């Protein structure tokens, strides 16, 4: 069973992907969680946060197109489990 924090991250991410103008809201909501995720002690949420950060980093570096980024984020938002 997924942790409540991982589920909340997925819920917020999926909402931001469905609502064009809420992506900045997700970033504002996500930043403090990402900053302190190691202190939470939730390995599943930690992996999810790292995967989201990697997707954004790859997009920023030009390794992913916007479409690829959105596809990757949608996959993370709807995954039933987060691979280790």
7 φψ region: left (φ > 0), alpha (ψ -120 to 50), beta (else): alpha
DSSP 9-42: HHHHHHHHHHSGGGHHHHHHHHHHHHHHHHHHT-
For 23, other C-beta atoms within 10 Å of its C-beta total 15
pLDDT of residue 21: 66
Which has more confidence, 44 or 83?
Answer: 44
The confidence band for 84, taking pLDDT boundaries of 50, 70 and 90, is: low
pTM for the full predicted model: 0.88
* Crossing angle for the helix pair 43-60 and 4-18, to the nearest 10 degrees: 30
pLDDT of residue 76: 96
Sorted by where each begins, the domain ranges of the chain are: 4-78
pLDDT of residue 22: 75
72 φψ region: left (φ > 0), alpha (ψ -120 to 50), beta (else): alpha
> Is the pLDDT score of 78 beyond 60?
yes
pLDDT digits (tens, 9 = 90+) for 17-72: 987 667 788 989 999 999 999 999 999 999 999 999 999 999 999 999 999 999 99
Residue 6 to residue 83: CA distance in whole angstroms: 13
């Amino acid at each position: 069973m997924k942790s409540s924090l991982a589920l909340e991250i997925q819920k917020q991410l999926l909402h931001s992907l469905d609502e064009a103008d809420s992506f900045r809201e997700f970033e504002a909501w996500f930043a403090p969680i990402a900053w302190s995720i190691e202190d939470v002690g939730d390995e599943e949420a930690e992996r999810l946060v790292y995967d989201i950060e990697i997707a954004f980093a790859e997009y920023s570096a030009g390794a992913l197109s916007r479409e690829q980024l959105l596809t990757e984020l949608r996959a993370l938002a709807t995954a039933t489990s987060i691979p280790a």
